Amino acid sequence: MPDQKPETVRLTIDGTTVAVPKGTLVIEAARRVGVMIPHFCYHPKLKPDANCRMCLVEVEKMPKLQTACSTPVAEGMAVRTATTTVDDAHKSVLEFILANHPLDCPVCDQGGKCDLQDFSHQYTPTTSRFTETKRIFQKEYFSPLIETQMNRCVQCLRCVRYCDEIMDVKALAPVGRGTMTEIKHFGPHELDCEFCGGCIQICPVGAITSRLSMYEYRPWMLKRADTICTFCGDGCRITVQTKGNELIEVNSAHGAGRNNGDLCARGFFGFHASSDADRLTHPLIRREGKLVEATWEDALEYVAEQALRLKLAHSADAFGGLITSRCTNEDLYVFQKFMRQVIGTNRIDSSARYGHLNGVQALRRVQGTHRWTIAFEDIVAANALLLVGTNITETSPITGLKVKEAVKKRQASLVTMEALQPAIDTLSNITNLALQHFPTHPAQFGNTVLGLTKAVIEGNLVDATLAQQAPAFVQRLTSALQGISWENLEAVTGQTRTQWTETAKILAGANRLVILVGNGVLRHPGGDATVTNLLDLLILLGKLDKPGCGLGPLAEENNDQGAVEMGAVAEFFPGPAPLDDQPVRDRIATVWREELPRTPGASLTEMLAAANKGSLKALFVVGENPVGTLPAEAQAAEALGKLDLLVCQELFLTETAAMAHVVLPACSYMEKDGTFTNSEGHVQGVRQAINPVGDSRPDWEMFSALSVLMGSPLEYGDAREILKEIRTVIPGYGLLGPTPTPPKVDQAVLSGYLTQGFAGDAATRYAVSQPRQTGDGSFTLMFVQTLFHSGKLSTHSKGLLQLQQEGFLSINPEDAARLDLADGGQVKVSNSRGAITTTVKIRERVPAGLLWFPEHFDGEAKQLAEWTIDPRTQIPYFKLAHVSLAKVS
Amino acid sequence: MLKETHKAEIDDILSRYPVKRSALLPLLYLAQREQGYITEAAMQEIAGLLKLTPPQVYETATFYTMLNLKPVGKFHLQVCKSLMCALVGSDTVIGWISAKLGIKPGETTPDRLFTLSIVECLAACGTGPMMQVNDDYYERLTEEKLDRILADLRQTGTCSLKTGPFMWPEPAPAKPGA
Amino acid sequence: MNVAVTTQPKRKPSFGDWLKTLTFYELLVGMKATLTHLLNYKPITLQYPHEKRLLPDNYRGMLALLRYDDGTEKCVGCDLCEAACPSRVIRVVSGEVPGEPTKRYSKEYYMDMTRCLFCGLCVDACPVDALGMTREFEWAVYDKRQLHLNKQQLLAIGDRSFPVREKRLELQHPNVAFFNVTFKHLPQKEN
């Protein structure tokens, strides 16, 4: 975001005068006056390369034609784009390109949306003067998802530049020279990269196309629906292209959505999850112990009848509800309204419980907001960025792109704290770009942040006005941190004091400081304390309420934020507002025309415990899979087995759904309308792309139908009506704009925090947490997200399964060498909880002493995880284990 | 592995450049000097040394004709095919060598003595047609000269007709045994 | 052409005019064709099922799919005929040839001949000359559904109407040598 008004320059393009900011390229200026200059190698996202020579224009007083894509505008410049000379130049350039371009448009997937085709129609005669033999490349296998046909390449190098400048993967290279330049990966190997699909999207011709949809369509057959990706909290705008009712392709237009047209492998290749053959197509009822197909009427009546019976026999609090944050806001809202109004209980929870609540609670406590006070634009414009506990390029790839842009294009200083080693491999690694990197053990984030805060205080970097306004706060923190010795911190974390001091200076010196917190912190014990400490750090630096500064917790699931805001968690009403907030209670009651339940809520773990004890009789589970997700120690299967009524609304027959009394087939995000709220708090529209698979229905419709059968109808015509009601409950919610307007720090809450709020747990937050001693092995096993999957939904996507179809253990090369493990070999991972045998993959990015296992394939492996429940927040943690390794020969 | 065998030389090369990537060509030369051509393993190792990805090394290695990605014979005949030489008959030179040795451009004789390649301008445009054999230039080539060069190379491993390359500053005389 | 457009002054009728009026000359000119046929009468109606008219070479009859001389289908499944067809006769489902990686063909090809108006635009649109218009026209059927033809039927029509076949495209010119060919060493696209 520019701080001052940029200088403008006036120039004439084809007789039209236009004023543009200084530094604009002629091609962009021309676009403003509606003149499209043909080009191949130019792309607004990339640095100009001017290699295709297609954009030649005539500039007055310049003796030769100039490339519009690399010529910046100058005052009084007169550009002509349609003279005979320019036209001749276009003709000759195209003639050179077409000399080697095979005219195989009929079998080329780009045919119909190809720049070369369009320009040839526009600028060349239909006959060719070329009689020689064309250039032929050896056809090589590129990848199972990306198809290349190098004979079609016009060597604009957009793909290579995109891979380097935007993605920072550098997997593609122009190999050879001159006409014989060809885009390749490395040697005769097939492509191994992030598979973001950027090269497919950016290729102006058909040289790089998607193998997933190869030969299945022509562009004019496709129907498009702009919707939002469901695979992470970034909330990327995707355009789903369908032929008939068949999903063909996903792409994202330049400038579209918060992702600006960039996607990751999940977004680009993961869409087939919706059309998987395993989808549930009919309601299922358990009859004589087996799930059998039933009609909607039977299924719903059965559920309503049983629910009414149980409600009469027990109380409303014998019911519980569990919903996934992958649902739309509308689903989440109707779900919690159904549970609170029709059933009459607050015992509901969602998958935001697994960690996102840690971030939201800390934000609410310190700055009085439940959303980021920053937007993606602030990340790009930041001077310094601090990433804590997030392997951002794998977990939130598109937010990662914003960080990459800030560092690579705008020279922001990046500081990373993560259990990650800087290493160059086939995936981009954010720590490679970091000015300071703290390789942090997953249990040491809190202590590493303490070191940073200590360095800020001891380096006299505390904001002067803060010291005057809140002396008690500064005093308390100073004294607490003085009690911690550097030696102690260095010993537990393995970092050095100089690094903390250097980093503190970087952060203090930045005008715009953005902190992003990921699952490494949020999904591990002490997550809320660490986030609060990071907010303290921002306060100490005097940056919490400065423009462009702030802290953002990164959501894992696409609608974690929405789940909290819709009140689909135990402790919040829609808003989110705490259950004891009387004004909100009154406001919602006037909209719902019914009193809200007064009983306390119950979290996922509390509900499971209650079910085990027998006090919870019925559970509605929407898209969640506690049996398949939680380790055995959570006793989810036992608990659910004791229920009198288990209703699952699911896409697939998961482990939990297989135990249910009734399974209702739900629509995936491709088949329904609604809204998602991304990490940064932007509410974006989800649009239906295909008809519901089989008899599946959106989740809200099922609750609506059930409520009618249960005698207190919640009737809505469509998703928009629900959104309208949400807006009456939460004023101004989700006005679907192009950019979010982040909330401001609530000064009242902040000053309350600075005077008193911080004190309550300051002693525990500002103390070195000692690593837990377990009798288990010397390795720390982390269950991590990988780039190619998201939760378990993506494991139904055929495209992503081709990239990764099973779990494997990632290990540092040194550890592997010590244990004599080879890449692809078998290893036994064991601790007191159990043992598994899996495949080893040696990866330099894994720090020594740590092991990574993808949580999407955790299956048996999850039994190794340590199960702890935060007694205060009821957040279950199960992403860490201490294990020993043994080679299996 | 280069890192073990040539540690001092690699360190010396790396120390010459403020930007690591600049050391790419000298390191590729080092790898080629070692094995006669640049192996895939060498490219991967160099990528690791310079914090580049293997494709970035590969693109550079394929761009320069003096870097070989396949094993070459003892004498690497590199005939200039650029415009100046082409005008004065580089096609004849290539045809003559092909006929004499029975190999096409890009191929190596079965006795692994000669490899014929066609390369871009070698900056001897005034004295074309010309070719470079390993590091030596042979200029104003004719059929007779070619016959003599090939015969001499075969017998003595060198030929008195060579003329260069001319470097500035003159390279220090090679130390014996280096 | 220099046509005088100036209005001529009214001319006094000459002897010739008078004679023409008297002998009904203009009438005879108009009746010339009729009178000629009256004099040498020959029936022109063909006894259709027994006698058939010789059709011109560019007759636009039933559509057909063609093959190369080695029996392979010409159609590459490019969908251009479908796009060109003004009355939505054609439906093409394209895909990769099973067992022949990267080669494109039409998995399914349908023509709803009840709607066809025999304009020939699909034949013009076809980049590989896979479509031909035969001289078949005897396609009256009792059930309209019989006019909904699939690929096999269309190929059969082509087989019987075009016995002379071209050689494969990739053998015709080096520049089309790599047009839609199989690369056996590549894996098949997964489905």
Q: Which residues of B are annotated as a binding site for [2Fe-2S] cluster?
A: 80, 85, 121, 125
Give the pLDDT confidence score for residue A2 in this predicted structure. Answer: 47
Report d(CA C81, CA C121) in Å as an integer: 8
Average pLDDT score over chain B:
88
Q: Are A860 and A829 in contact (CB under 8 A)?
A: no
Q: What pLDDT sits at residue A792?
A: 87
Spell out the domain ranges in chain A: 8-82, 105-115+127-273, 284-351+567-729, 356-555+751-763, 779-888
- What does the pLDDT look like over A121-150, one tens digit per residue? 999 887 888 888 899 898 889 998 999 999
Average pLDDT over residues A750-755: 93
* pLDDT for the residue numbered B67: 92
CA distance C168 to C58: 24
Q: What is the pLDDT of residue B35?
A: 87
Give the CATH number of domain A105-115+127-273; options: 3.90.420.10, 3.40.640.10, 3.90.960.10, 3.30.70.20: 3.30.70.20
Q: Which residues of C touch A107 (CB under 8 A)?
A: 76-78, 104, 179-180
Q: Given this model, what pLDDT does residue A1 score? A: 45
Identity of the residue in A107, A133, A798 whose CB atom sits nearest the CB atom of C174: A133
Q: pLDDT tens digits for A701-712? A: 999 999 999 999
For residue range A807-847, what is the model confidence (pLDDT) as tens digits?
999 999 999 999 999 999 999 999 999 999 999 999 999 99
Write b or e for each residue in C146-170: b if 16 or more Cβ atoms lie within 10 A of its Cβ, otherwise e.
ebbbebebbbebbeebeeebeebbe
With 0-12 CB in 10 A as exposed, 13-18 as middle and 19+ as buried, what is A871?
A: exposed
pLDDT tens digits, A488-529: 999 999 999 999 999 999 999 999 999 999 999 999 998 999
Characterize the bridge pairing of strands A645-650 and A868-869.
unpaired
Average pLDDT over residues C163-172: 91
Residue C172 in contact with residue C139, Cβ under 8 Å? no
Chain B residues near residue A432 by CB distance under 8 angstroms? 51
Q: Which residue from A188, A191, A147 is spatially nearest to A170, judged by alpha carbons?
A: A191
Q: Parse chain C into domains and list their residue ranges.
A: 63-176
Rounded mean pLDDT of B35-55?
A: 93
Terminal alpha carbon distance of chain A: 58
Q: What is the pLDDT of residue A158?
A: 96
Mean pLDDT of C124-145: 94
Is the bond preceding residue A283 a cis peptide, omega within 30 degrees? no
Helix (H, G, I), strand (E, B) or coil at B48: helix
Give every CB contact of residue C113 below 8 A, 6+ residues apart in sequence.
Answer: C62, C63, C89, C139, C147, C148, C149
**pLDDT tens, residue by residue, C91-105:** 999 999 999 999 999
**Strand partners for A683:** A677
User: Is the pLDDT reported for residue A4 higher than 70?
Assistant: no
Residue to test with chain A: of B62, B65, B67, B119, most A Cβ within 10 A = B62
A399, A235 Cβ separation under 8 angstroms: no
Domains in chain B (CATH in brackets) are 2-63 (1.10.10.1590), 75-156 (3.40.30.10)
Name the average pLDDT for chain A.
93
Return the ∠ at Cα A530 (arms to A527 and A533), rounded to 5°.
Answer: 150
Whether the link from the prior residue into A597 is cis, omega within 30° of 0, is: no
- Whether residue B175 has pLDDT greater than 60: no
Mean pLDDT for all residues in chain C: 90
pLDDT of residue A153: 94
Q: Looking at the complex, report in whole angstroms how far the Cα of residue C25 sits from the nearest Cα belonging to chain A.
A: 56
Joined together, the tokens standing for residue A343 give 């059933």
CA distance A250 to A261: 11
User: Cα(B2)–Cα(B48) distance, rounded to whole angstroms?
Assistant: 12
pLDDT reading at B171 higher than 80: no
State residue A433's pLDDT score: 94
- Is C75 part of any known ligand binding site? yes
Domain A8-82, CATH: 3.10.20.740
User: Inter-chain contact A214–C189, Cβ cutoff 8 Å?
Assistant: yes
Report pLDDT digits (tens) over A247-302.
999 999 998 889 999 999 999 999 999 999 999 999 999 999 999 999 999 999 99
CATH architecture of C63-176: 2-Layer Sandwich (3.30)
ipTM computed for the complex:
0.90
The 3-class secondary structure across A75-123, one letter per residue, is CCCEEECCCHHHHHHHHHHHHHHHHHCCCCHHHCCCCCCCHHHHHHHHH
| Phi-psi label, residue A575: left if phi above 0, alpha if psi -120 to 50, beta otherwise | left
User: Quick count: other Cβ atoms within 10 Å of Cβ A176?
Assistant: 16
Nearest Cα neighbor of A106 from C57, B20, B118, C129 is: C129
What pLDDT sits at residue A889? 81
C119 is in an annotated binding site: yes
Rounded to whole angstroms, the Cα distance separating C126 from C105 reads 13
CB contact, 8 Å: A175 with chain B?
yes
Residue C128: closest CA among C70, C99, C170: C170
Residue A41, classed as helix, strand or coil, is coil
pLDDT reading at A774 higher than 60: yes
Q: What is the CATH number of domain A779-888?
A: 2.40.40.20
Confidence bin at B161 (pLDDT 50/70/90): confident
Contacts of C92 (CB under 8 A, 6+ apart): C77, C78, C79, C81, C82, C106, C108, C109, C110
Nearest Cβ partner for A134 among C94, C175, C189:
C175
Confidence bin at A677 (pLDDT 50/70/90): very high
Given a cut of 80, is residue C112 above it in pLDDT? yes
Share of chain A above pLDDT 90, in %: 88
Please determine, looking at this structure, whether the domain spanning A284-351+567-729 carries the CATH number 3.40.50.740.
yes
Residue pairs between chains A and B whose CB atoms are closer than 8 Å: 40
Half-sphere exposure of B143 (CA within 13 A, CB side): 7
- pLDDT score at B169: 56
Q: Is the pLDDT of residue B164 over 80?
A: no
Nearest-CB residue to C104 (from A102, A134, A215): A215
Per-residue pLDDT tens for A186-234?
988 999 999 999 999 999 999 999 999 999 999 999 999 999 999 999 9
CA distance A392 to A398: 9
| pTM to 2 decimal places | 0.92
CA gap A885, A887 in Å, rounded: 7
What does the alpha-carbon distance between residue A52 and residue A638 come to, in Å, rounded to a whole number? 65
User: At residue A759, what is the residue type?
Assistant: A
pLDDT score for A770: 82
Which of B53, B62, B120 is facing A424, going by the closest CB pair? B53
Joined tokens for residue B100: 């004499």
pLDDT digits (tens, 9 = 90+) for A607-621: 999 999 999 999 999
| Nearest-by-CA chain A residue for B45 | A424
| Mean per-residue pLDDT, A314-343 | 95
Alpha-carbon dihedral B5, B9, B15, B20, rounded to 10 degrees: -60
Contacts of B62 in chain A (CB under 8 A): 175-177
Q: How far is CA C56 from CA A519, C59, C60, C129, in A?
A: 77, 5, 9, 20
Q: What is the pLDDT of residue A546?
A: 92
Task: Give the pLDDT band of residue B178 (cuts 50, 70, 90).
Answer: very low
Q: Which residues of C touch A111 (CB under 8 A)?
A: 78
Q: What pLDDT does A778 receive?
A: 87
Checking if the pLDDT of B60 tops 70, the result is: yes
Say whether the peptide bond before residue C98 is cis (omega within 30 degrees of 0). no
Q: Considering only the beta carbons, identify the residue of A169, A173, A177 that sits closest to B58.
A: A173
Q: Mind telling me how many Å the CA of B45 is from chain A's nearest CA?
A: 12
Omega cis (within 30) before A553: no
- Fold that domain A356-555+751-763 belongs to in CATH: Dimethylsulfoxide Reductase; domain 2 (3.40.228)
Average pLDDT, integer, range C72-78: 94
A428: chain B residues, CB-CB within 8 Å: none
Tokens of A172: 């593609």
Residue B167 pLDDT level (bands cut at 50, 70, 90): low
Q: Find tokens 């009468």 and name the residue.
A: C41
Tell me how far apart the alpha carbons of residues A424 and A427 are, in angstroms, rounded to a whole number: 8
Optimal mutation site among A98, A105, A107, A132, interface C, most CBs of chain C within 10 A: A107
pLDDT (average), residues B2-18: 90
